[in-house]
């Protein structure tokens, strides 16, 4: 959440900051601001998106050093005063911050007692003023930063410029992502590699509490939390610009839905090309239990993984919300595999839960879309989605790729036990991209269906077995981007409460795409219709029995029950997208949401 971009070098800074902010806007769009050093600091910030800030900025601000920020509000409402960058009480320091300072109120009260005033409601300004206070005592900014950071609790990624120190940026992180990059004498700081992908070709990954000093002519230097200089080797920054452009699509979300045939193909694991997979499978087979951690969409993927791993590989699997896992004092054993799923690899709750697993000597595996993200650096093994950058806040192609990776993992583990099943299922999985292309051709028909139901205030999604997590994911997508209240339920649980809500104005999406549960799902449909509820049924081609019962039908090509979740999800994504557009919602930037949840 929130986006940081900083630059110093020989070229004008403004162009880098604005372009970087645009690439980071999916991380937060409540407000944005820039600060450019040019003898003094020129500070501009504005409530709203990057376009609002651009309209507020002078056409050209001279200067070759600056920092910028796009905000997802935590402490303080979205407004101009709470927007970053913040200027300290002495006006000599300006800072941007991602993260949460948990003990900010106590520090603020102490600073106010010393006569320091505040102009915002943010915890970020408290940290900045604490650093400024420490500077007034030490007259050494590095010491001031380090002294201040020993007093705070929580997470942070910060970048600071000083009014009388041109061409220099100070940066530090703890628990929040921060990277540095360079190319041809231009130096960058960012919270996400995507922000500097077009500018840098080398990238640095500082560890928690490392301090970086970035100078236009001296380059980048690092020191550890004790002030001891350290060397961090740079790595080549792989270019991924194509995925960050809308191309001919109106929205990133629609583009990413239509990219799923290709993103699914890229998710296929080639054992000969992966040094990890064979060794990983041998290790996993020796585990007594698999614990899957995730949040939101990743948690739904984990639930599907549970069904498949238990069915195919016969290893017990528990699926946990990462945000709850570490707070309930879980029993973790060294014989467990803890599998963490995160599109960004920077989800704060998932990272914290993974660290708890490591502290208890469990083997850890990360399923992630971003190479060299924090999760991939803090797990024993990694499997990559290779889905390309996902800019739309509501995850689409990352979800289907996560399910693909989990399916393959289950197949690789089960291979010795069920050789023929593994072979047939893998062949069927490889056929899915073409079948998704068939589903995508129904986009206009699904739009017409959405026109009938887009004004509903509530929606129920039901499914059984492996389609229950699909129902959860379908409901989440609809509520995320259209703001229609939607709930996902197991079909069998409908009679234990949700059926009380059913009437003519409360439609239901019934996912009837697996053979095993068809007859029971048809009974659920009839129970809903007996109470005047309308039912849209998602079915496989040729399922005339369900088609004759449901009020509306969307059909998908036939495939194996184990692979149905990937195929079933795509029409639900399209339905949610079209419903949201009909309701006039911004599908790429839904209100109150951000792409990477990097705070608790």
Phi, psi at 159, each rounded to 5°: -135, 135
Output DSSP code: residue 238: -
Task: Answer whether 73's CB lies under 8 Å from 97's CB.
Answer: no
Cα–Cα distance, 254 to 442 (Å, whole number): 13
Output DSSP code: residue 155: -
Cα–Cα distance, 304 to 302 (Å, whole number): 5
Task: Answer whether 554's CB lies under 8 Å from 452's CB.
Answer: no
- Active-site residue identified among 477, 534, 581, 595: 595
- Active-site residue identified among 2, 287, 295, 368: 2
For 313, 376, 470, 511, 512, the CA distances from 467, given in Å and listed in that order, are 19, 29, 5, 7, 8
DSSP readout, 54-117? HHHS-S----SEEEEEEE--SSS-SSTTTSSSEE-TTSSEEEEEES-BTTHHHHHHHHHHTT--
The verdict on whether 231 is a catalytic residue reads no
Using a 10 angstrom Cβ sphere, with 0-12 exposed, 13-18 middle and 19 or more buried, the burial of residue 393 is buried
The verdict on whether 287 is a catalytic residue reads no
Q: Which long-range contacts (CB under 8 A, 24 or more apart) does 81-84 make?
A: 81/119, 81/120, 81/121, 82/31, 82/120, 82/121, 82/122, 83/30, 83/31, 83/32, 83/33, 83/45, 83/46, 83/47, 84/2, 84/31, 84/33, 84/45, 84/122, 84/124
Cα–Cα distance, 134 to 113 (Å, whole number): 15
Which residues form the catalytic set? 2, 595
């Amino acid at each position: 959440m929130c986006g940081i971009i900083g630059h110093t070098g020989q070229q004008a800074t403004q162009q880098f900051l604005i372009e970087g902010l645009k690439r980071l806007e999916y991380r937060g769009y409540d407000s944005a601001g820039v600060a450019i050093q040019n003898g003094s600091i020129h500070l501009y910030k504005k409530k709203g998106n990057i376009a609002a800030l651009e309209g507020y900025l002078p056409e050209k601000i001279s200067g070759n050093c600056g920092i910028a920020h796009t905000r997802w509000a935590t402490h303080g409402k979205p407004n101009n005063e709470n927007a970053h960058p913040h200027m300290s009480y002495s006006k000599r320091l300006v800072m941007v911050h991602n993260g949460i300072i948990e003990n900010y109120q106590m520090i603020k009260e102490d600073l106010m007692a010393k006569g320091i005033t505040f102009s915002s409601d943010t915890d970020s300004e408290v940290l900045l003023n604490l650093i400024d206070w420490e500077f007034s005592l030490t007259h050494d900014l590095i010491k001031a930063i380090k002294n201040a950071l020993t007093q705070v609790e929580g997470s942070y990624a910060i970048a600071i410029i000083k009014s009388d120190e041109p061409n220099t940026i100070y940066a530090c992180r703890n628990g929040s992502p921060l990277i540095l990059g360079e190319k041809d004498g231009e130096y960058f700081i960012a919270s996400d590699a995507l922000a500097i992908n077009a500018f840098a070709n080398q990238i640095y990954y500082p560890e928690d509490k490392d301090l970086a000093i970035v100078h236009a002519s001296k380059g980048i230097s690092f020191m550890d939390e004790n002030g001891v200089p350290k060397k961090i080797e740079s790595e080549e920054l792989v270019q991924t610009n194509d995925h960050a452009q809308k191309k001919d699509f109106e929205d990133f979300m629609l583009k990413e839905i239509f990219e799923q045939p290709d993103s699914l193909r890229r998710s296929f694991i080639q054992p000969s090309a992966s040094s990890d997979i064979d060794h990983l499978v041998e290790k996993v087979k020796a585990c007594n239990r698999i614990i899957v951690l995730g949040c939101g969409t990743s948690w739904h993927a984990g639930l599907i993984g549970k069904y498949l791993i238990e069915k195919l590989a016969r290893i017990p699997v528990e699926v946990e919300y990462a945000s709850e896992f570490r707070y309930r004092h879980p029993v973790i054993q060294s014989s467990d595999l803890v599998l963490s799923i995160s599109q960004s690899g920077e989800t704060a709750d998932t990272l914290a839960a993974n660290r708890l697993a490591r502290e208890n000597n469990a083997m850890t595996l990360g399923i992630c879309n971003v190479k060299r993200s924090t999760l991939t650096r803090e797990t024993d093994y990694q499997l990559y989605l290779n889905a390309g950058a996902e800019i739309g806040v509501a995850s689409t192609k990352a979800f289907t790729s996560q399910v693909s990776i989990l399916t393959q993992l289950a197949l690789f583990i089960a291979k010795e036990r069920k050789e023929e099943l593994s072979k047939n299922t893998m062949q069927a999985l490889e056929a899915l991209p073409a079948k998704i292309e068939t589903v995508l051709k129904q986009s206009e028909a699904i739009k017409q269906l959405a026109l009938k139901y887009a004004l509903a205030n509530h929606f129920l999604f039901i499914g059984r077995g492996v389609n229950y997590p699909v129902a959860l994911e379908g409901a989440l997508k609809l509520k995320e981007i259209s703001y229609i209240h939607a709930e996902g339920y197991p079909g069998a649980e409908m009679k234990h409460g949700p059926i009380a809500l059913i009437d003519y104005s409360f439609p239901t999406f019934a996912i009837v795409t697996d053979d095993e549960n068809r007859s029971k799902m048809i009974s659920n449909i009839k129970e809903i219709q007996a109470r005047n509820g309308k039912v849209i049924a998602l079915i496989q081609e040729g399922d005339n029995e369900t088609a004759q019962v449901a009020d509306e039908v969307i059909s998908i090509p036939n495939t194996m029950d184990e692979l149905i979740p990937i195929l079933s999800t795509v029409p639900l994504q399209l339905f949610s997208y079209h419903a949201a557009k009909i309701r006039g919602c911004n599908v790429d930037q839904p209100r109150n949401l951000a792409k990477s949840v990097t705070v608790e």
